[in-house]
Amino acid sequence: MGGGPFKEHLLCLLPAPESKEILDGLRKKFPNIEITYRQVSMTSDAEEQIKALPEGIWKDVTILYTLFSFPEKPSDAPKLKLVQLISAGSNQVQKHPIYTETNVAITTSSGIHGPQIAEWCVMTALVQSHKYNSLHDLQKEHKWGKSGGKTDYHDVRDMVGRRLGVLGYGSIGRQVGRVAKAMGMDVVAYTATPKDTPEKKKDRGFIVPGTGDIDGEVPSAWYSGLDKESRIHFLKQDIDWLIVSVPLTDQTHHFLSTDEFKALSQDGKKPAFVTNIARGPIIDQPKLIEALKNNTLAGAALDVTDPEPLPEDSELWDLPNVTVTPHVSGVGSSYTERSFKVLEENLTRLDKGEKLLNEVKRERGY
Amino acid sequence: MGGGPAKEHLLILLPGAEPKEILSALRKRFPHIEITYLSASPSPSIPDKAWNDVTILYTLFTFPPSLSLCPHLRVVQLASAGSNQIQSHPIYTSSDIIITTASGIHGPQIAEWCIMTALVQSHEYNKLHDFQKEHRWGKKEAGSDFMHVRDMVGRRLGVLGYGSIGRQVGRVGKALGMDVIAYTATPKDSAEKKKDQGFIVPGTGDAEGVVPSAWYSGLDKASLRHFLKQEIDWLVVSVPLTKETRHFLSMDEFKALSQDGTRPVFVQNIARGPILDQPALIRALKDGTVAGAALDVTDPEPLPEDSELWDMENVIVTPHVSAAGVAYEERAFRLFEVNLERLGKGEGLLNVVRRERGY
């Protein structure tokens, strides 16, 4: 192999088979980067698999592209300058010495999940409001509804004029907001810090074309503040449907508990519907169950729980207005392709010495 | 009671409970209209006298037994989007009485049903629901099972019948990142023609006709198939049922849509069952010409218990409920109010049925 040494060495350790098409595309676009790909499994043998990697593989790695596979000790990978995660969250690396003891840049794939997760949010909300589960049961029984015209369905209510509250107006929240607005809803947004200028309302991250809310025009009102008072103030805004899309950090752990559910539902007078696609521990789950059982909340859709897997005996499985799915909302065929686009963007920026996309700020935890 | 505008006699015949609040608001707003409400179900026994003075009829499926009973009737406002139910009645066949529909109120609710059933299919919700009933956290490697789920970004929504319902599905389709193409009976080849001049629920629809990236038209087979061949991933059927659209889609059309089954296509019908040649649809679903379907309307209704459609895994059947909801009555009356206003002023009404075209 004539010519100079590679400038960078990219190691991909991912729980998916290698896509020759994507890798060839990358190699073509970045001839100075040596690319090594290894598939790792999603099971708990992951650590074993790290150990099974060829000795010394880490010493030349400058860029790591992974989900949860890191060098055991930072000193194993002395040349490492960038860790690109394929997840939106970075919790899985936050206890690792790479995070706690080094300044190695860590970037996430925030921005790729919006469309798919937003679809899941809309689907599960509509499944509840249109009583799809009953319709499905009727279909299985070959039954054309009740006899005599007027059925249970006359109390179905559509979303027009109702209010969507987005707790965490990031890329996923923005896409839910976009779709909700198209359905005729009013959207109110909540962020950690105030977005009190048009500039601050913009989304500077990765946006899947044709989606999102790049200029921050969708919400009719914005709220912010990590303290409880600010949070309760937001939740009291007559919200019919709340999406939880904040990152899990020390501040957002058990962000929503009894007081918050009460505020959300005007003390049970206007029971709201809650959707969680972020991380289970953001919601105080036993309190959620209580609020659902005493009708403080109208229902919930949870793609994430605390813990995961959700234990078989959890009451959540059988509550009538609750949908539970096994952390699949972000999983799909476009995932890999879009995540590689973020990687591509960051490889370009790294090369040019530009600010990276989706860099985790250790001081704030995401 | 001297002077003032000519007294109108409005007879309201609807199934269900008397909408007292709505009626008193109507009476307040239109003091020159005498308003009578009678329940239309279970089987209405309406005295002949009730028909004699009627000038305006607001109904769903209850009509006067003969034209001679209602010599003063000038407007029939239907509470439905379709007008099929009146089309064999002498009011339709043998008079010039103006018939108006409630087209425009159904968009949001029916569009939600369309989005819901499309996503239920693409995200494999039924499987997820089964897991939940079993208290099962998916397969061990849950990620792998759903890896093939594909979102709507960049996919193409074809709206067969870009009316008020179609426009709302289009609006949401676009927000989901889809490309939307529209089909109408007659060409919409100017900005004016692309507009929706009818009743639009605020915050919804596509008043200017800016959502579709391309428009197609024509009631003949060649034009229809040309539209269907546009690499559509998801087809919504939202045309009215007329003699031209009966069995509009049959095997040839399904084949055009999916390029002989080489492209997976999802077909939704929220219009009227007979627009699809149902036996052909069933064959197309079985042999893979059509990848999946969601039907809120069938041929006939109720769908017979032994229809193969019930059990097909890639088919969703619901009993004509997509428009039913709390907002229906209120929105239908709001549209009706617009027409009462316009009638009083001698202006053209919303949604007048054109007998020569059947809708």
Alpha carbons B258 and B290: distance in angstroms, whole number? 7
Report the residue from B109, B137, B176 with minimal CB separation from A119: B176
Same domain, B165 and B269: yes
Residue A254 DSSP SS3: coil
**DSSP state letters, B128-176:** HHHHHHTT--SSTTHHHHTTT---STT-EEEEES-SHHHHHHHHHHHHT
Same domain, B79 and B22: yes
With tokens 């197309």, the residue in question is B284
CB contact under 8 A, A126 and B119: yes
Same domain, B125 and B246: yes
Is B29 designated active site? no
Q: Select the more confidently predicted residue: A1 or A65.
A: A65
Report the residue from B15, B132, B176 with minimal CB separation from A324: B132
Distances in whole angstroms, Cα of residue A200 to Cα of each of A112, A197, A217, B50: 21, 5, 12, 65
Is the residue at B3 inside a domain? no
Is the residue at B352 inside a domain? no
Residues in CB range of A226: below 8 A, 6 or more apart: A192, A251, A252
Compute the nearest-CA separation of A147 from chain B (Å): 9
Sheet holding B56-59, edge to edge: B33-39, B8-14, B56-59, B75-78, B98-100
Q: What's residue A339's pLDDT?
A: 92
Alpha carbons A1 and A42: distance in angstroms, whole number? 35
Cβ of A140 under 8 Å from any chain B Cβ?
yes
Compute the nearest-CA separation of A19 from chain B (Å): 14
Compute the nearest-CA separation of B139 from chain A (Å): 9
Cβ of A59 under 8 Å from any chain B Cβ?
no
Same domain, B99 and B242: no
- The pLDDT tens digits of the residues spanning A303-359 come to 999 999 999 999 999 999 999 999 999 888 888 889 999 999 999 999 999 999 999
CB contact under 8 A, A151 and B328: no
* pLDDT, average across residues A108-116: 92
* pLDDT, average across residues B208-220: 98
Give me the interface pTM, i.e. the ipTM: 0.88
B9, B167, B272, B331: the catalytic one is B272
Percentage with pLDDT > 70 across chain A: 94
CB contact under 8 A, B318 and A210: no
Q: In terms of residue numbers, what domain contains B25?
A: 8-105+326-345
CB contact under 8 A, B132 and A317: yes
CB contact under 8 A, A210 and B178: yes
With tokens 């080849």, the residue in question is B189
Same domain, B268 and B331: no
Q: What's residue B141's pLDDT?
A: 54
Alpha carbons A221 and A239: distance in angstroms, whole number? 12
A133: enclosing H helix or E strand: helix A132-140
Is B148 designated active site? no
CB contact under 8 A, B115 and A42: no
Burial (0-12, 13-18, 19+ Cβ within 10 Å), A188: buried
CB contact under 8 A, A135 and B321: yes
**Does residue A45 carry a pLDDT above 70?**
no
Is the residue at B359 inside a domain? no
Same domain, B331 and B243: no
The distance of Cα A321 from the centroid of its chain, to the nearest Å, equals 23
Q: Which of A186-195, A323-332, B20-29, B134-143 has the lowest mean pLDDT?
A: B134-143
Same domain, B218 and B237: yes
**Does residue B171 carry a pLDDT above 90?**
yes
Long-range contacts of A348-356 (CB under 8 A, 24+ apart): A350/A8, A350/A63, A350/A81, A350/A82, A351/A30, A351/A32, A356/A82, A356/A105, A356/A107
Q: What's residue B6's pLDDT?
A: 63
Q: What's residue A148's pLDDT?
A: 44
HEC string of A186-200 equals: EEEEEECCCCCCHHH
Q: What is the CATH number of the domain that holds B41?
A: 3.40.50.720
Same domain, B66 and B115: no
Alpha carbons A261 and A349: distance in angstroms, whole number? 43
Region of A273 (left: φ > 0; alpha: ψ -120 to 50; beta: rest) is beta
Compute the nearest-CA separation of B300 from chain A (Å): 11
* pLDDT, average across residues B190-214: 96
Model confidence at A203, pLDDT cuts 50, 70, 90, reads very high
Model confidence at B288, pLDDT cuts 50, 70, 90, reads very high
Is the residue at B124 inside a domain? yes
Same domain, B65 and B201: no
Report the residue from A126, A136, A149 with minimal CB separation from B112: A126
- The pLDDT tens digits of the residues spanning B111-148 come to 999 999 999 999 999 999 999 999 999 865 545 567 77
Q: Which two tokens stand for residue B228?
A: 């269907």
Chain A CB contacts of B310 under 8 Å are 139-140, 142
Q: What is the CATH number of domain A114-324?
A: 3.40.50.720
Same domain, B335 and B297: no
Is the residue at B355 inside a domain? no
- The pLDDT tens digits of the residues spanning A259-277 come to 999 999 999 999 999 999 9
* pLDDT, average across residues A23-34: 94
How many other CB atoms sit within 10 Å of the CB of residue A334? 18
Percentage with pLDDT > 90 across chain A: 81
Please provide the average confidence, as pLDDT, over all residues in chain B: 93
**Does residue B271 carry a pLDDT above 70?**
yes
**Does residue A88 carry a pLDDT above 90?**
no
Q: Which of B195, B55, B63, B167 is nearest to B108 (CA)?
A: B167
B226, B320, B342, B355: the catalytic one is B320
B18, B208, B301, B308: the catalytic one is B301
Instruction: Considering chain A, tell me which residue range(s) the CATH 3.40.50.720 domain(s) occupy.
Output: 8-112+334-352, 114-324
Q: What's residue A150's pLDDT?
A: 47
Same domain, B92 and B200: no
- The pLDDT tens digits of the residues spanning A49-58 come to 677 777 788 9
Chain B CB contacts of A140 under 8 Å are 310
Residue B43 DSSP SS3: coil
Cβ of A138 under 8 Å from any chain B Cβ?
yes
Compute the nearest-CA separation of B290 from chain A (Å): 20
Residue of A nearest to B327 (CA): A157
CB contact under 8 A, A149 and B310: no
Is the residue at B193 inside a domain? yes
Alpha carbons A17 and A19: distance in angstroms, whole number? 6
CATH 3.30.365.10, domain A8-112+334-352, yes or no: no
Long-range contacts of A356-361 (CB under 8 A, 24+ apart): A356/A82, A356/A105, A356/A107, A357/A107, A357/A111, A357/A205, A357/A206, A358/A107, A358/A108, A358/A109, A358/A110, A358/A111, A358/A205, A358/A206, A359/A105, A359/A106, A359/A107, A360/A90, A360/A106, A360/A107, A360/A108
Interior angle at CA A40, CA A37 and CA A45, nearest 5: 150
Q: What's residue A43's pLDDT?
A: 66
* A287, A258 contact by CB (below 8 A): yes
Chain A CB contacts of B203 under 8 Å are 160-161, 181, 184-185
Same domain, B64 and B149: no
How many other CB atoms sit within 10 Å of the CB of residue B329? 17
Cβ of A150 under 8 Å from any chain B Cβ?
yes
Q: What's residue A47's pLDDT?
A: 66
- The pLDDT tens digits of the residues spanning A218-231 come to 999 999 999 999 99
**Does residue B7 carry a pLDDT above 80?**
yes
Is the residue at B128 inside a domain? yes
Alpha carbons B309 and B300: distance in angstroms, whole number? 12
Model confidence at A4, pLDDT cuts 50, 70, 90, reads low
Is B226 designated active site? no
Could you give the number of structural domains in chain B?
Answer: 2
Q: Which two tokens stand for residue A351?
A: 């090369």
Burial (0-12, 13-18, 19+ Cβ within 10 Å), B148: exposed
* pLDDT, average across residues A122-138: 96
